[in-house]
Structure 1
Amino acid sequence: MSAVAGSTDIPWYRSLNRAQWNTLFASNLGWLFDGFETYALILTVGPALHQLLHPNEYAQIPVFAGLVIAITLLGWGIGGMIGGVLADYIGRKRMMIIAVLTYSVATGLSALSFDWISFAVLRFLVGICIGSEWATGSSMMAELWPDNARAKGAGLMQCGLGIGFFVASFVWLFISPVSAGAWRYMYLIGVLPALLTLYIRRSIPESHLWEKADARRRAVLEQKRAGHTLSESEEKLARFTLVDLFSDPSIRKQTILVFFMSLTTTVGFWGISTWVPPFVAGIAAKSGLPAAQWASYAGMAYTIGSVLGYISLGFLADAFGRKPVTIVYFILALVFTPVLFFWTQNLTLLLVLTCVNAFFSNGQYTWMPVWLPELYPTRMRATALAFAFNAPRFIAFLGPLLAGTMIVHFGGFGRAAMVLATIYIVGIACAPFLPETRGRSLPA
């Protein structure tokens, strides 16, 4: 498979076999449903709390909404760490099936919430299940796709999140007027991914790289139990993957850099991007236009830009390298934040700027599934990806809790967004110190 897939004499898309395309389809679809669920929460948390809270608590809805979103993010971080570790021990395919099934069940149960506490608890469980899917899918994609097309595949996988955002915005546009309980229907739709597990079981192979690493790990652990002395490389295999991630000085150094770069992208999204729909809605309301409708337009424009950004980063990274493309995305995300929030009040132009801003601020997420798998060996790859992707959420989850306070304190969305946009400087400073990996085989 690898000899054919790695050939440069034919177009990259013709060099892929059926199993590789199936892996992309399943990973993309799983991430699409995760995106749908994530944005459905942003769209529906207000209407849900209007039903779940007592009328005398309505003034506190922004506080409760921030708390529910923060709890979801916290669950995402915890679940992502657990899922990544398990994917290194029980396999990519098996963990993906478990993640999709549990996510579907937890999402469907969210529709049955009877008060805000039950809603928050179920959202926490949904967050745990969503978090465990990304590192598993990213590891599987990287290990099954060839070197010359790996970044393209990662971009095509990552765009599923943006497509899920778009689908959620589009569906909510039609479901929201149905009734006061329309938010429950959005969560019932989230049960559908359970069907994806049937496809995964039949159509996707387990990663051969993981199977080899797992066989070596089992053999080494057997030797250790028998009292044999282990070599340095065998000691690494015998260590718990999360401990192994910080035991090797060289791996520890790049993990710290990766953490701060991931923190940059995560805070940029949860701290700035989620403000775009209400920002545009507020300007529309001042012009006497329906705020909810323009919020949906902004969400869809942002999603279109995100999808294009996700895909483009993967293709550009294969053409020009992981490092320069990632740095450019960080720089332009920093540049286009003030452009979006301060340059114009024209709604049509704002939608265009929303799309452009999303291309860089949200599209930059693709650097993670592109670059990270090429920095870590197979024995710890899913654990490393899970740590990099999810650990920043233990900080970023504070964003929704502080968002309302920041907007009030700084006198509006724009100034608050600019304060948070300085986080992009951290990513710009860290990225040059990671090794360029374009064209290299995955570390064994």
Structure 2
Amino acid sequence: MQDTHTAQPLKTRWYDGLTPAHWNVLRGGFLGWIFDGFEALALVVVIAPMLKSLLAPAQLPSLPVYAGLVIGITLLGWGVGGLVGGILADYIGRKRMMLWSVFLYALFSGFTAFSNTFAVLCALRFLTGLAMGSEWSTGVALISETWPERARTKGAGFLQSGFGWGTLLAAVVWYILSSTHPLGAQTWRLMFIVGALPAFFVLYLRKGLSESEKWRQAVKEKRWNATPDPHSASLVSAGDKRPFTLKQLFAEPEALRRTLLTVLLSIITTTGWWAISSWLPTFTVSLAKASGAADAVAWGSRIAIIYTVGAILAYLLSGFIVDAIGRRAFLSLTFAGSLITTVITYRLTHTLGGMVVIAPINGFFTLGCAYAWMAIYPSELFTSSLRSTAISFVFNAARLIAWVFPILSGSMIKTFGGVSQAALIMSSCYVLGIFIPWFLPETQGKGMPD
């Protein structure tokens, strides 16, 4: 069954008809995603001082390898937690899963501040990732299922911008802390203390969010088909016992095709950011030192902020761009832009002035557009009874594969003698992203499948 709200009156503004309930849903998902963004970048910006305080002197020459291991373990936990949480959200509801996700990842983030060995750090990073994995998919599902059609993609883009604002907040907080060093070499621990604050956000979520009626209705009517494809619908008739949602993604031919292709695009996105762009502050610090800048280390935080501003702009504009040019064209241009800007960043940029110019453009594509599509497109490919499972699988299953790439990236940095060479090699994955979208259906103007 297709959404009936696709027809729009002429000259209707996209936000006409949005109620306080709609904005509450956006606000809840947005704030939750801010905390996820903070947590993700906090790990990246403190990785060097954190490991220097935890590793033995003999281990420090291999710091990039240990850094990749910590990031990879976090991604692995994020992938497992997101997959499990997304499935549960299709059975017990989106709101309940969001509550538990936010509370538990805030708790484990706070515990990270007290890590005293590398092994304890890795264990806590896995648990943090495990807890925060499902927050994104529940927020996206709620926006997709509650907002009217003409505003839905914009709302999803705005929600996704929360990650950018969170990473920007992390960059600013670390810039202040790294400039003042209130705890000396142990200042990095304060970043994770700040990361524990979202636990209080659970109190707001309990009162400010309502459950998705679209999901409730689909479950009530026992509509178990995974996609709006007529053949898929005939495979699972209404009234049958509910199939396991994750199994449906692989049991129905059209659902399987859509799942595999979107997961592959998600892997490309995830690999590109964690194994390439997350090294941008480190690369910038090396440029600053080579140029003799007095505050070389601070340049890493500055560029992280500038990079994130570009990503936020992409998030805010993504819904409008997607509706204007279509989903497949948006994806193809996103990965083409990611490839080009990565080459410019790591091959052709040799000065801090050049980095200031290219960093926000790189952020626009590799972090902004490259993640915005996942908040918009997968929701349109699958039905309400397993939408959370589908979008969480697309978003998080990539981490079950891509978690090894930060580890490989760290090893490649050591093997090839620098961040730039490793990043350029890893950027080849973007080539696939340019062509894969054209094998998926175009959903522009077709509405949300019920």
TM-score normalised by the chain length of structure 2: 0.92
Q: Aligned match of 1:401 in 384, 389, 407?
A: 407
Q: Aligned match of 2:200 in 175, 189, 195?
A: 195
Question: Which has the larger displacement, 71-80 or 424-433?
Answer: 424-433
Matched, 1:320 2:325: yes
For 1:435, the equivalent position in structure 2 comes to: 441
Q: C-alpha separation between the residues in 2 aligned to 1:318 and 1:237?
A: 37
Say whether the 8 Å CA contact 2:6–2:150 is kept in structure 1: no
- Letter of the structure 1 residue corresponding to residue 396 of structure 2: N
Q: What is the deviation of 1:5?
A: 11
Q: C-alpha separation between the residues in 2 aligned to 1:237 and 1:426?
A: 39
Q: C-alpha separation between the residues in 1 aligned to 2:25 and 2:446?
A: 21
Q: Residues 3 and 266 from structure 1, CA distance in 2 versus in 1: closer, same or farther, beyond 3 angstroms?
A: closer
For 1:21, the equivalent position in structure 2 comes to: 23
Q: Aligned match of 1:338 in 340, 343, 351?
A: 343
Deviations 1:75-119 (CA, angstroms, capped at 9, x unpaired): 011001001001100101111111111111111111122222111
Q: C-alpha separation between the residues in 2 aligned to 1:37 and 1:190?
A: 6
Q: What secondary structure sits across from 1:362 in the alignment? A: helix
TM-score normalised by the chain length of structure 1: 0.93
Q: What secondary structure sits across from 1:213 in the alignment? A: helix
Q: Residues 417 and 138 from structure 1, CA distance in 2 versus in 1: closer, same or farther, beyond 3 angstroms?
A: same
Q: What secondary structure sits across from 1:435 in the alignment? A: coil
Aligned length: 434
Q: C-alpha separation between the residues in 2 aligned to 1:439 and 1:315?
A: 13
Q: What is the deviation of 1:61?
A: 3.0
Q: What secondary structure sits across from 2:382 in the alignment? A: coil
- Letter of the structure 2 residue corresponding to residue 416 of structure 1: A
Q: What is the deviation of 1:54?
A: 3.4
Say whether the 8 Å CA contact 1:5–1:15 is kept in structure 2: no
Deviations 1:163-196 (CA, angstroms, capped at 9, x unpaired): 1111111101111322222111111111211222
Q: What secondary structure sits across from 1:238 in the alignment? A: coil
Deviations 1:373-424 (CA, angstroms, capped at 9, x unpaired): 0000011101111111111112211122111322243443333222211111
Matched, 1:286 2:293: no
Q: What secondary structure sits across from 1:152 in the alignment? A: helix
For 2:275, the equivalent position in structure 1 comes to: 271
- Letter of the structure 2 residue corresponding to residue 251 of structure 1: A
1:70-89 equivalent positions in 2, closer than 5 A: 70-89=72-91
Percent identical: 42
Deviations 1:286-308 (CA, angstroms, capped at 9, x unpaired): 11112211101111111011111
Q: What is the deviation of 1:330?
A: 1.2
Q: C-alpha separation between the residues in 2 aligned to 1:277 and 1:403?
A: 15
Say whether the 8 Å CA contact 1:410–1:416 is kept in structure 2: yes
For 1:69, the equivalent position in structure 2 comes to: 71
Q: Residues 64 and 111 from structure 1, CA distance in 2 versus in 1: closer, same or farther, beyond 3 angstroms?
A: same
1:1-16 equivalent positions in 2, closer than 5 A: 9-16=11-18
Q: What is the deviation of 1:320?
A: 2.0
Q: What is the deviation of 1:314?
A: 1.7
For 2:249, the equivalent position in structure 1 comes to: 245
Q: Aligned match of 2:310 in 291, 305, 308?
A: 305
For 1:380, the equivalent position in structure 2 comes to: 386
For 2:263, the equivalent position in structure 1 comes to: 259
Question: Which has the larger displacement, 291-300 or 58-67?
Answer: 58-67
Q: What is the deviation of 1:239?
A: 0.5
Q: C-alpha separation between the residues in 1 aligned to 2:240 and 2:121?
A: 42
| Consecutive unaligned residues in structure 1, runs of 5 or more | 221-229
For 1:360, the equivalent position in structure 2 comes to: 365
Q: What secondary structure sits across from 2:215 in the alignment? A: helix
- Letter of the structure 1 residue corresponding to residue 359 of structure 2: T
Say whether the 8 Å CA contact 1:6–1:15 is kept in structure 2: no
- Letter of the structure 2 residue corresponding to residue 272 of structure 1: I
- Letter of the structure 2 residue corresponding to residue 86 of structure 1: L
Deviations 1:199-241 (CA, angstroms, capped at 9, x unpaired): 2221221100111123234999xxxxxxxxx983237761100
- Letter of the structure 1 residue corresponding to residue 121 of structure 2: F
Q: C-alpha separation between the residues in 2 aligned to 1:236 and 1:118?
A: 47
Q: What is the deviation of 1:62?
A: 2.8
| Consecutive unaligned residues in structure 2, runs of 5 or more | 226-233
Question: What RMSD in Å do the two structures reach over aligned CA positions?
Answer: 2.2
Q: C-alpha separation between the residues in 1 aligned to 2:32 and 2:90?
A: 19
Matched, 1:160 2:162: yes
Say whether the 8 Å CA contact 1:5–1:16 is kept in structure 2: no
Q: What secondary structure sits across from 2:237 in the alignment? A: helix
Q: C-alpha separation between the residues in 2 aligned to 1:343 and 1:259?
A: 31
Say whether the 8 Å CA contact 2:224–2:236 is kept in structure 1: no
Q: C-alpha separation between the residues in 1 aligned to 2:304 and 2:61?
A: 25
Q: C-alpha separation between the residues in 1 aligned to 2:205 and 2:255?
A: 32
Q: What secondary structure sits across from 1:205 in the alignment? A: coil
